[in-house]
Amino acid sequence: MTHRVRAVRRLSFTVIAGIVLLAGVRPAGAVPVFSRKYQTSCTTCHTIFPKLNPFGQAFRLNGYRMPKETEEQVKQAPVSLGAESYKKIWPKMVSPSDLPGFAPFALNTKMGIIYSSAKDPAGKTVVNNDFQFPEEVNIFTAGTLGEHFSFLGEVTFGQETDGSVTTELEHAQLHINSPFGPEHAVNFKIGKIAPDVFDGFQEMWLMTDNGVDTMFTYSPIGFAGGTGLAEDVGIGLPAIVQGIEFYGVARHRIFYTVGMTNGMAPNLDTNPGATIVDGNSRKDFYARVDYKFGGMGLDGDTTGQKLPPENWRETSFRIGAFGYSGDGRGIDFVVTDPNTLTDYNQEDRSFERTGAYVSWCFKDLNVFGVVLHGSDKLQNFDQITGALFDETKPSFDAWFAQADYVIRPPFQVSFRYENLNPSDPAADNIRFYNANFSFLSRANIKTMLEYRRDAHESENYTVAGVLRFAY
Amino acid sequence: MRRIAFGTTLLLIAVPLVAGEIHGKVVCRGVKDCADAVVYVAAITGKTFPPPAEHAKMDQLNLVFHPHVLPLLAGTTVDFLNSDAVLHNVFSPDACADKFNLGTWPKGQTKSYTFKKECVASLLCKVHPEMEAFVVVVPTPYFALAKADGTYVLANVPDGAYTVKVWHPKLKGVQKPVTVAGAAAEADFEIAR
């Protein structure tokens, strides 16, 4: 830190700008394809979409199949791509499979009214009142391919300020379910995925419109506490990765996952001609282990459990520990020393994230949260000679707690507090309150009113009215 | 042969139950109905039964085997008819059916195969991999295909103690002892994955 100028950065405007920006790219999460396949309501799997209830969690971990699924439950018969008896003569013939008996596509549309008020660096209050109609449209595809394969895909079209549309491939993944061993014990997924290491708190599984940005969009890149929250350089926890994961459920209550990912993408600002999607040849790794006490088993097992007919209710406690190890060498970010105004190329040579997850369900209440510790090894290089100028090892601690409550199935509320403290004492901490009221006017039509306040810069806040419908 | 079995079953359902039959219901868990369940009397020690002279028939129509499940007595010959305008093939990957392969043949023609011993033979068509049927070769003439609701009748069963078995293409088979003594015996089953 001897070469580092300790300067307090005003994060507030960056933070709010980041929130408004991020509001446009939330994954939708609910997949109406399955409602058609099983001829069942969204609320079979969702407390309020996209948040999953215990059955929905088991459905997802079972490779988008119902626990102990029977032929009677599948209302849209699949198209056979080979009779089961062909298994007997493999490899003389192609192994049998099937595909959905209908085009497995669904849509999700999101409209938003975003009102934000924030102070800019000059101290002037900037107010935006924005009708984002639509804010985004998601196309989903999902289903099963025979006995051991399933898939999920999502393409999001986002409305831009100039009227253009951005397209983002958010999910494209193939799952291999229980190819060997006891059922549910070993599964694989490959592709662009939301890693299960963030099961339960990644944004696609939250009932709120805002994700937990202190977990996923914090970037340590920069001087004196890093960049703050900014998705394009986020090196907090990667919400979506390109990688391979294996995961499973053992003894109904133990969940584990281990994965390997590309890691950080090339920084196109410093490497504009990049033609590969991995920023370096190194891979990132992650792992998580959970145990669930009480309630429905993670694979849907209900042996010995008395569960109420209200499928969002159970008395359970889940606890898990996770870690993520990344390598960002060779991926340069231009940073400016605010004291000398000298530009450097900065690399996050290695970063480690370790954390713990807890979730407690009691009647209509679900309280969950994460504590996270992050450490980074930042190196600054001279932009001309490429020589190493200095190295620092900053860290940060973050946590959040969220309480979701079902007043009645159509009316649900949520409150979250999140906090991030960089180790650099000169840096501001980042704190938010987030309150949500959700109303399901129909099982597939949701209206939300969400309020978020910056607890550090208390004059900064956003209010969002959101309408989402899936079909 | 299937027509004979079904005809007998229907006749027996239409009239009051008589002595020398086994009837009951199969409950099939996890599938839409019980239509593919086969109920039959297992081998009876010291007794053999001559196969029927009449051939059983299986059709290939609209890229589907008809019937999907065909129970028959060991030694019965099955005529495989192609009623489609496309070439079809019939083969079995199962050793108990000699892994027979009848080649391909056009519409209106028939090829035959005799199922010599007790066996569950999967039937496949290499031209159309989704096509599948089962010939369930049983050792006694006391067999029936259950109705969709699971009810069945095994007709003309003489007095005696037997083992009755149930087979289904997707569910685990079960068996139980049944005694017929001058009257109709009842045996219910439940099968699941």
> DSSP secondary structure string, B60-93?
EETTEEESSEEEEETT-EEEEEE-SSS-EEEE--
**∠ CA A29-A322-A226 to the nearest 5 degrees?**
85
Dist. CA A202–CA A323, nearest whole Å? 15
Nearest CA in chain A to B131: A83
Residues A148-174 have pLDDT tens digits of 999 999 999 998 888 899 999 999 999
Dist. CA A465–CA B21, nearest whole Å? 71
Residues B130 and B172 in one domain: no
Residues B163 and B97 in one domain: no
Show the domains of chain A with their CATH numbers.
12-470 (2.40.160.10)
Residues A179-211 have pLDDT tens digits of 988 999 999 999 999 999 999 999 999 999 999
**Which has the closest alpha carbon to A384: A332, A344, A338?**
A344
Residue A178: per-residue pLDDT? 94
The CA distance from A51 to the nearest CA of chain B, in Å, is 29
Q: Strand pairing partners for A177?
A: A187
Residues A225-247 have pLDDT tens digits of 777 777 665 578 999 999 999 99
Dist. CA A30–CA A45, nearest whole Å? 9
Residues B54 and B42 in one domain: no
b/e code A280-291 from CB counts within 10 Å (16+ = b): bebbbbbebebe
User: B12: domain range?
Assistant: 1-46+142-193
Residue A22: per-residue pLDDT? 40
b/e code B3-35 from CB counts within 10 Å (16+ = b): eebeebbeebeeeeeeebbbbbbbebeebeebb
Q: Are A239 and A206 in contact (CB under 8 A)?
A: no
Residue A119: per-residue pLDDT? 86
Dist. CA A344–CA A332, nearest whole Å? 9
Amino acid A238 reads P
Residue A20: per-residue pLDDT? 38
Dist. CA B185–CA B128, nearest whole Å? 43
Dist. CA A359–CA A367, nearest whole Å? 6
Mean pLDDT of B49-54: 96
Mean pLDDT of A41-48: 92
DSSP one-letter code for A212: -
Residue B48: per-residue pLDDT? 93
Indicate the pLDDT class of residue A339, thresholds 50, 70 and 90: confident
Dist. CA A42–CA A108, nearest whole Å? 13
Residues A112-130 have pLDDT tens digits of 999 999 988 888 899 999 9
| Residue finishing a domain among B98, B118, B138 | B138
Length of chain B: 193
Q: With CB atoms and an 8 Å threshold, state whether B31 touches A85.
A: no
- Chain A positions touching B123 (Cβ under 8 A) are 85
Dist. CA B134–CA A108, nearest whole Å? 44
Give the burial class of A148: count Cβ atoms within 10 A of its Cβ; 0-12 exposed, 13-18 middle, 19 or more buried.
middle
Dist. CA A29–CA A32, nearest whole Å? 10
Please state the φ and ψ torsions of residue A112, each to the nearest 5 degrees.
-140, 140
In this structure, of A103-112, A209-218, A424-433, B16-25, the range with the lowest mean pLDDT score is B16-25
Indicate the pLDDT class of residue A25, thresholds 50, 70 and 90: very low
Indicate the pLDDT class of residue B117, thresholds 50, 70 and 90: very high
- Chain B positions touching A84 (Cβ under 8 A) are 132
Residues B139-186 have pLDDT tens digits of 999 999 999 999 999 999 999 999 999 999 999 999 999 999 988 899
- Chain A positions touching B131 (Cβ under 8 A) are 83
Structural domain total, chain B: 2
Residues B75 and B18 in one domain: no
The CA distance from B32 to the nearest CA of chain A, in Å, is 5
Residues B30 and B66 in one domain: no
Give the predicted TM-score (pTM) of the model: 0.85
Tally of CB atoms within 10 A around A273: 6
Residue A4: per-residue pLDDT? 31
Please state the φ and ψ torsions of residue A384, each to the nearest 5 degrees.
-90, -50
Query: Percent of chain A having pLDDT more than 70?
Result: 93
Q: Which residues contact B190 (CB under 8 A, 6 or more apart)?
A: B26, B27, B29, B174
Question: Is B20 or A411 the better-scoring residue by pLDDT?
Answer: A411
A73 SS3 class: helix
**Which has the closest alpha carbon to A331: A365, A396, A284?**
A284
- Asked if B131 is an interface residue toward chain A (Cβ–Cβ < 8 A), one would say yes
Dist. CA A43–CA B98, nearest whole Å? 52
Residue A28: per-residue pLDDT? 52
Residues B134 and B147 in one domain: no
Indicate the pLDDT class of residue A428, thresholds 50, 70 and 90: confident
Indicate the pLDDT class of residue A417, thresholds 50, 70 and 90: very high
pLDDT tops 90 at residue B8: no
Residues A360-387 have pLDDT tens digits of 999 999 999 999 999 999 999 999 999 9
Residue B169: per-residue pLDDT? 95
Tally of CB atoms within 10 A around A3: 12
Average pLDDT, chain A: 89
User: CA separation (Å) from B181 to A415, B46, B189?
Assistant: 73, 19, 20
When CB atoms are compared, the residue of A70, A72, A83 closest to B132 is A83
Q: With CB atoms and an 8 Å threshold, state whether A83 touches B131.
A: yes
Element (H, E) at A255: strand A254-261
Residues B11 and B36 in one domain: yes
Nearest CA in chain B to A98: B130
CATH of the domain at B22: 2.60.40.10
Indicate the pLDDT class of residue B134, thresholds 50, 70 and 90: very high
ipTM value for the complex = 0.74
Residue A14: per-residue pLDDT? 41
Q: Are B118 and B61 in contact (CB under 8 A)?
A: no
Q: Are B190 and B25 in contact (CB under 8 A)?
A: no
In this structure, of A103-112, A203-212, A299-308, A318-327, the range with the lowest mean pLDDT score is A299-308
Mean pLDDT of A17-46: 69
Residues B60 and B108 in one domain: yes
CATH of the domain at B59: 2.60.40.420
Residues B77 and B124 in one domain: yes
When CB atoms are compared, the residue of B30, B124, B193 closest to A85 is B124
Residues B55 and B67 in one domain: yes
Residues B57 and B42 in one domain: no
Q: With CB atoms and an 8 Å threshold, state whether B30 touches A70.
A: yes
Indicate the pLDDT class of residue A71, thresholds 50, 70 and 90: confident
The CA distance from B13 to the nearest CA of chain A, in Å, is 28
Tally of CB atoms within 10 A around B109: 11
Residues B127 and B147 in one domain: no
A99 SS3 class: strand
Residue A231: per-residue pLDDT? 64
Please state the φ and ψ torsions of residue A44, each to the nearest 5 degrees.
-65, -35
